């Protein structure tokens, strides 16, 4: 835990820990409850006993690395998989963490609650590996409090306890401990001190793959193969990968007209196996005056972000498990809790405002290549009520507003780069090399070509986009008018700074006059697949949406509202862009991996449209310029301008890019005010003079 505790506090929490340990061990074989509750508490008690043993074994080690290094990789894999065995796909149907199994055994009310509790208790793995006495102990206490409520009810009333009483135990556990959990999570992002992940990366022999098991994350053959491949790369290749990544971060500040010298901390996010690259990146960042923070992707109800993983992470044991529990807050989320959480967030940032001001932003290494995930709808899982959906939207907006007061959008930046994993198939090594080539394409050449495209777009009032090959997109996008074309431009020339690789020009479109249908036959967004995704825009706002993933329209709309609109009733078209990275597109087609490409690269392989906030969210008033010196004036739209009246009406805290691939793009044409047309792409090929170089990739 990042929060400092004095010796007296440490001794007190240890005393509480050992009391819980004694109580759980004393109850073994004596859980005095009728079925089916006996099964739940006895099985869960056994799991807790195993976690306590793991915690103490790890805590008592003088050098944790020795405990791992003396074991074979096969043994480490077996021990690691035991920690996750109940949620692995082959065991999930019989796990209490599966809402369906729990509801069938305990009924809907207690089944969902027990599934929630079992899921939360899985976070004990993390606290064991990080030797966190406090966060480990309070969860043991939660379990025992719920057990005693059941025991007393059956002993005194000969019946199960009132459900609301049990729900209130969980409610107040979450409410009472939010203060310390929120502060801990914020410090994990802002404070580089005492980071056990840094110790692993910088002070281990990374050629000894036992280090992968020190995190406590789920490890598979894929992470081992990834680390082995990275270890085989020449130092010069590692340096090139890290330099591209860290220089992109630096250039985000330069091109965004922001002062990096005022910052001291960068948050690095990555997947296990990339430690050698991360180590070199840390050295690069430290030369810039930036210390790294490296926090774990969400693992508890206090810090999960739905199905999205933010932070460092290992393999995902079961994506369906994550999907089933994305709305677990439905058990407790109400207006009172929302206001308390916002108050805690504000108070915590105020307490650490000096550290927050030094935070430069995240630098992210994404991975891709895993089999696409199509979630099954689990009707037994928690879902947010209509009121909770509205509160969730309100919370996200207000929380984003608070965060931006202390980590100001106009002062921070980011960068993202992506690489394939061995899961992508037998051509992994070839694909990996191709991606390195894609990530290091000639930015100067692309900048010149993209400037040609921008010069044509700057003459236009609208852009018309039409689909082909069963794509029925028919969309008109309105553009900001230029008053001084000699010094101003509408589109940003993106040449591989914050978004690596190179290959797009983008703008914030005018909402009024942006009308029509956006359609893609298949697209993957935030690791979820959408079939025949279709969105209708009226004056730039979503007025209808559908897909064909499920058998009913209701299921399809629910799927999109939860995962694209994030419970908002509508979203604006926050970005319109033209991707120019035909090299990435051809590589994708060659290896038949369109369904596995991350949006970071996929957005460069055709025109894309982002629903939600603009690319300049919270930094619209910072002047930014293209390499040719022209100021990009299209940083706002009619919604983001509402920040001048009420910032909570201006932002949605989401931004989802949807790309039409070249083979579904019939036409993209700039239309001038007088109605004359400048074709840019026809039938998937660039036809604008000066863009011939982009088509060469198609014939290689």
The predicted-structure confidence for 116-139, as pLDDT tens digits, reads as follows 999 999 999 999 999 999 999 999
Residue 631: name the closest of 494, 498, 487 by CA: 487
Angle at 639 between CA 635 and CA 641, to 5 degrees: 55
- Per-residue pLDDT band for 372 (boundaries 50, 70, 90) equals confident
Higher pLDDT pick, 497 / 19: 19
pLDDT in tens, 411-452: 999 999 999 999 999 999 999 999 999 998 888 999 999 999
State yes or no: pLDDT of 700 exceeds 70. Answer: no
Q: Which residues contact 232 (CB under 8 A, 6 or more apart)?
A: none
Higher pLDDT pick, 29 / 458: 458
pLDDT at 281: 98
Round the average pLDDT of the chain to a whole number and report it.
94
pLDDT in tens, 27-55: 988 988 999 999 999 999 999 999 999 99
Please tell me what DSSP assigns to residue 296: B
- Per-residue pLDDT band for 682 (boundaries 50, 70, 90) equals very high
- Per-residue pLDDT band for 193 (boundaries 50, 70, 90) equals confident
pTM over 0.85: yes
Q: What is the mean pLDDT of residues 489-514?
A: 92
Do 624 and 635 contact (CB within 8 A), yes or no?
yes
Orientation of helix 235-255 relative to helix 275-287, angle to 10°: 50
pLDDT in tens, 553-566: 999 999 999 999 99
Q: How many helices (H) and strands (E) does the chain have?
A: 23, 19
pLDDT at 666: 97
Residue whose entry in the numeric block shows the structure tokens 């310390």: 180
Residue 4: name the closest of 143, 142, 191 by CA: 191
- Tell me the C-alpha distance between 456 and 445, whole Å: 18
3 state DSSP class of 612 = strand
- Tell me the C-alpha distance between 418 and 440, whole Å: 12
- Per-residue pLDDT band for 165 (boundaries 50, 70, 90) equals very high
Domains of the chain, residue spans? 7-176, 196-406, 441-699
- Per-residue pLDDT band for 496 (boundaries 50, 70, 90) equals confident
State yes or no: pLDDT of 358 exceeds 90. Answer: yes
Q: Which residues contact 490 (CB under 8 A, 6 or more apart)?
A: 454, 457, 458, 479, 480, 482, 507, 632, 633, 634
Do 479 and 678 contact (CB within 8 A), yes or no?
no
Do 603 and 567 contact (CB within 8 A), yes or no?
no
State yes or no: pLDDT of 390 exceeds 70. Answer: yes
Cis? peptide before 336, omega within 30° of 0? no
Encoding tokens for residue 697? 């990739």
- Tell me the C-alpha distance between 335 and 387, whole Å: 9
Paired strand residues for 625: 631
Using a pLDDT cut of 70, give the percent of the chain over it. 100
State yes or no: pLDDT of 480 exceeds 90. Answer: yes
Q: Which residues contact 63 (CB under 8 A, 6 or more apart)?
A: none
Lowest mean pLDDT of 205-209, 304-308, 424-428, 433-437, name the range.
304-308
- Summarize the chain as % helix, strand, coil (round to 5): 50, 20, 35
Angle at 184 between CA 180 and CA 185, to 5 degrees: 120
State yes or no: pLDDT of 497 exceeds 80. Answer: no
Q: What is the mean pLDDT of residues 199-225?
A: 96
């Amino acid at each position: 835990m990042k929060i400092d505790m004095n010796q007296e506090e440490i001794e007190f929490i240890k005393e509480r820990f050992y009391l819980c340990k004694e109580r759980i061990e004393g109850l073994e074989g004596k859980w005095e409850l009728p079925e089916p509750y006996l099964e739940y508490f006895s099985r869960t008690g056994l799991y807790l006993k195993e976690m306590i043993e793991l915690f103490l074994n790890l805590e008592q080690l003088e050098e944790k690395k020795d405990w791992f290094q003396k074991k074979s990789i096969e043994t480490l894999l077996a021990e690691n998989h035991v920690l996750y065995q109940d949620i692995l796909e082959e065991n999930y149907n019989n796990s209490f963490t599966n809402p369906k199994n729990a509801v069938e055994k305990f009924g809907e009310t207690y089944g969902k609650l027990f599934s929630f509790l079992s899921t939360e208790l899985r976070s004990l793995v993390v606290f064991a590996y990080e030797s966190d006495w406090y966060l480990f102990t309070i969860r043991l206490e939660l379990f025992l409090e719920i057990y005693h409520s059941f025991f007393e009810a059956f002993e005194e009333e000969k019946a199960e306890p009132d459900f609301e009483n049990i729900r209130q135990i969980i409610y107040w556990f979450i409410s009472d401990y939010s203060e310390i959990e929120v502060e801990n999570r914020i410090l994990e992002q802002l404070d580089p001190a005492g980071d056990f992940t840094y110790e692993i990366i910088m002070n281990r022999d990374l050629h000894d793959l036992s280090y992968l098991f020190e995190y406590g994350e789920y490890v598979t053959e894929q992470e081992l193969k990834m680390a082995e491949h990275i270890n085989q790369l020449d130092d010069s290749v590692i340096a090139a990968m890290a330099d591209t990544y860290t220089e992109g971060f630096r250039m985000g500040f330069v091109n965004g007209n922001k002062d990096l010298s005022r910052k001291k901390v960068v948050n690095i996010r990555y997947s296990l196996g990339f430690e050698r690259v991360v180590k070199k990146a840390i050295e690069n960042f430290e030369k810039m005056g930036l210390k790294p923070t490296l926090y774990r992707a969400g693992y508890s109800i206090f810090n999960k972000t739905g199905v999205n993983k933010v932070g460092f992470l290992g393999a995902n044991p079961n994506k369906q498990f994550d999907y089933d529990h994305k709305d677990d807050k439905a058990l407790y989320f109400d207006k009172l809790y929302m206001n308390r959480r916002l108050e805690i967030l504000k108070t915590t940032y105020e307490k650490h405002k000096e550290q927050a001001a030094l935070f430069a932003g995240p630098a992210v290494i994404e991975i891709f290549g895993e089999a696409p995930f199509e979630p099954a709808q689990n009707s037994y899982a928690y879902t947010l009520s209509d009121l909770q959906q509205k509160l969730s939207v309100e919370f996200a907006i207000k929380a984003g507003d608070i965060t931006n007061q202390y980590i100001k959008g106009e002062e921070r930046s980011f960068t993202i780069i992506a690489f394939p994993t061995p899961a992508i198939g037998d051509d992994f090594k070839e694909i990996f090399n191709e991606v390195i080539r894609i990530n290091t394409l000639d930015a100067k050449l692309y900048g010149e070509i993209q400037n040609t495209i921008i010069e044509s777009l700057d003459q236009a009032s609208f852009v018309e986009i039409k689909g082909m090959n069963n794509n029925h997109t028919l969309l008109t996008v309105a553009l900001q008018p230029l008053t001084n074309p000699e010094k101003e431009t509408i589109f940003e020339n993106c040449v591989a700074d914050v978004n690596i690789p190179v290959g797009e020009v983008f703008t914030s479109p005018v909402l009024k006059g942006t009308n029509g249908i956006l359609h893609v036959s298949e697209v993957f967004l935030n690791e979820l697949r959408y079939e025949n995704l279709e969105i209708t825009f009226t004056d730039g706002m979503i007025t209808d949406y559908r897909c064909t993933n499920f058998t009913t329209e209701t299921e399809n709309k629910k799927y999109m509202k939860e995962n694209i609109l994030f419970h908002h009733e509508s979203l604006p078209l926050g970005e319109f862009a033209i991707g120019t990275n035909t090299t990435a597109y051809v590589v994708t087609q060659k290896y038949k991996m369109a369904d596995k490409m991350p949006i970071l690269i996929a957005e460069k392989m055709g025109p894309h449209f982002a629903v939600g906030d603009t690319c300049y969210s919270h930094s619209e008033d910072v002047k930014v310029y293209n390499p040719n010196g022209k100021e990009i004036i299209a940083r706002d739209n009619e919604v983001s301008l509402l920040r001048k009246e009420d910032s909570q009406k201006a932002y949605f805290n989401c931004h989802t890019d949807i790309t039409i691939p070249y083979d579904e793009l019939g036409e993209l044409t700039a239309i001038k005010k007088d109605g004359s047309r400048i074709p840019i792409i026809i039938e998937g090929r660039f036809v604008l003079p000066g863009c011939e170089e982009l088509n060469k990739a198609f014939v290689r």
